[in-house]
Structure 1
């Protein structure tokens, strides 16, 4: 199971440590933050105590309205579950009582100047990616007109060369050779690089090139949502598809189904152009348009 530490959060976000300086290596294993408003009023069913606890104006103002005895009771009932950390937003003051309990229980208390809604959104996005299940596969990942595509095929089939042609046409490289796939949700796979290969593309007969240096910063993108899985294969005459509409196939990565297309290679065939067409066709389908249905309607009209 993947984890991040409270120190990782400090490295990523602008926050100060108000308490628990010696506990910054505490582990966080759950994505999504939690605002313990209901818990402060005594309702603990389904308390997400393993999540980062965010205290906005509503929570802090409520605690300020309580008597010292009642406030100590409410806070004590929450900290006894030992969440990984508390984060107070908007640089709110008057937190002496929170500091006391967090120091006693060894729970980091952090403070950020960000408004609650913005901080929660940023933190949830960060945790979803940092804690996402991931696998590494052999292939190339590109972004074609805003559409993430995974290119696969046997070694030497021409994946990197095809990616280079796409980059030359104004599209973007995400990863070459090793593609890291992260499962962000039950329906979303994100492709990225492994850090070492960032911006690099290996071209046979040419060598290693840095696409950002070669074609500018727009030639590279750090990550992209994968919506098409395209396999490049050698040409086989008897497998040539001439149907008006092919049966939709899928490839599964970590239980997420991605539409799959096979493109056969042959000298003179515009593979990059076919990939562009596949990407644009996928987009049109998402908008509810089918070229086959449009064509059949024209025949019926005639």
Structure 2
């Protein structure tokens, strides 16, 4: 199971450490936060103690309405479950009782000036990506007209050169050689780089180029949702599918099936244009349009007339 430390979270969001500094290496393993509400009235049957606990104005205001004895009791009941950390939002100040308990138990108490709603949205989004199951594959990742594509094939087949042509045509580069795939949901696969290769594209006979330095910031993006898997392979005589519409094929990554297309290479074949066509065709299919179906309808209408 993937995890990140409370210290990493603190650094990422520039959080203020109020108490429990000795627990900054505690690990976070769940991507959703929790706002303790029922727990403050004593109901713990479904308390997600492994999540980051966020205390907004609602929670703090409620605690301040209690007597000192009740407040200490309710806070103590939650702290004893040892969640990874507590984060107080909106820069709230009246929380000495939280500081006391967190110092005693070594649980980090952090604070942000951001509002609860805004902070939780950012934090949940970050945790989903940081804790997502992932794998690395040998491929090139590009974004063609807003559509994330994996380009695969044997070394030297021309993946990087094809990506370079697509960049020159105004599309965006994501990763070369090593593509990191992250599963963000049951049907959502994210493609990104591994930081070391960020912005770099390796071209045979040329060497490494920095895409951003050569073509500008708009030629690169950090990540993209993967919706097409295109494999570049050598030309095979009499093996191309010349039917009106090929039978759908899929490649599975982390349990998610991605539509697969095989593009055979031959001198003079404009591979980049074929990839653009595949991307546009996929988009039209999402809108419910099929060129093959329209063609067959025209044939049927002609025959009937």
TM-score, length basis structure 2: 0.96
The 5 Å alignment of 1:89-100 reads 89-100=89-100
| Aligned equivalents of 1:288, 1:61: Cα separation in 2 | 51
Q: Which piece of structure 1 moves more, 181-190 or 221-230? A: 181-190
Partner of 1:34 in structure 2?
Answer: 34
Partner of 2:111 in structure 1?
Answer: 111
Q: CA deviation at 1:293?
A: 2.4
Partner of 1:300 in structure 2?
Answer: 300
Q: How many residues align?
A: 302
Partner SS, residue 69 of structure 1? helix
| Aligned equivalents of 1:37, 1:161: Cα separation in 2 | 56
| Aligned equivalents of 1:287, 1:58: Cα separation in 2 | 43
1:286 and 2:286 matched: yes
Unaligned runs of 5+ in 2: none
Q: CA deviation at 1:294?
A: 2.4
1:181 and 2:178 matched: no
Q: CA deviation at 1:296?
A: 2.7
Partner SS, residue 34 of structure 1? coil
Partner SS, residue 137 of structure 1? strand
| Aligned equivalents of 1:71, 1:291: Cα separation in 2 | 67
Q: CA deviation at 1:170?
A: 0.4
Deviations 1:43-96 (A, max 9, x none): 212211101111111111111111111111111111110000000111112101
TM-score, length basis structure 1: 0.97
Deviations 1:22-56 (A, max 9, x none): 21111111111111112112221221110111111
| Aligned equivalents of 1:97, 1:194: Cα separation in 2 | 43
Q: Which runs of 4+ in 1 moved over 6 A?
A: none
Q: CA deviation at 1:238?
A: 1.6
Unaligned runs of 5+ in 1: none
| Aligned equivalents of 2:297, 2:97: Cα separation in 1 | 71
| Aligned equivalents of 1:292, 1:209: Cα separation in 2 | 41
Partner of 1:59 in structure 2?
Answer: 59
| Aligned equivalents of 2:250, 2:260: Cα separation in 1 | 5
CA RMSD of aligned residues (A): 1.2
Partner of 2:80 in structure 1?
Answer: 80
Q: CA deviation at 1:144?
A: 0.6
Q: CA deviation at 1:251?
A: 0.6
